[in-house]
Amino acid sequence: MSDAYEKGLEVRRAVLGDSYVDAKLAEAGGFDSAFQAFVTEGAWGSVWARDTLDKRERSLVTLALLAGLGNFEELALHTRATANTGATREDILDVMLHVAVYAGVPRANHALKIVKQTLAEMEGDS
């Protein structure tokens, strides 16, 4: 594996957690193993591993983009990841306000519903 893959795997685990990453890699068969390698190396090893933004900032940018683009399946995952990135509930609410202004209230409203449900689930796990 490349250095970017190894670094990406380290960052991916730090943000999403070992159990999630282990499950995704275990699910990857011949068909999508190249996709998992691409995501690990490209997104996590080349972008998330950069030191320009810290994990909290990257997490907030990711939440805003996922909500603004309507990628709601990933929104819950990255909301859960805030437990590892240092983004607070207040940070997340501010991001959703930004989404409302720049991507539309309906999109932010739906995203906020998912965020609230996910945060409630996380509190139940504590």
In whole angstroms, give the CA distance from residue 93 to residue 27: 33
In whole angstroms, give the CA distance from residue 70 to residue 22: 26
Interval 35-74: pLDDT, tens: 999 999 999 999 999 999 999 999 999 999 999 999 999 9
> Which residue did the predictor score with more confidence, 32 or 5?
5
Domain residue ranges in the chain: 1-52, 53-126
Is 1.20.1290.10 the CATH classification of the domain at 53-126?
yes
By C-alpha distance, which of 53, 52, 55 is closest to 10? 55
Tokens at residue 57, please?
Answer: 């900032």
> Which residue did the predictor score with more confidence, 31 or 109?
109
**Helix segments in 17-104, DSSP class H:** 18-27, 33-38, 55-69, 72-85, 89-103
Interval 5-18: pLDDT, tens: 999 999 999 999 99
Look at residue 1 in the predicted model and tell me its pLDDT. Answer: 78
Tokens at residue 59, please?
Answer: 């997490």
**This prediction's pTM:** 0.92
Residue 56 neighbours by CB under 8 Å, 6+ apart: 85, 86, 87, 91
Kindly compute the dihedral angle of the four CA atoms of residues 41, 1, 54, 101, in this order, to the nearest 10 degrees. Answer: 10
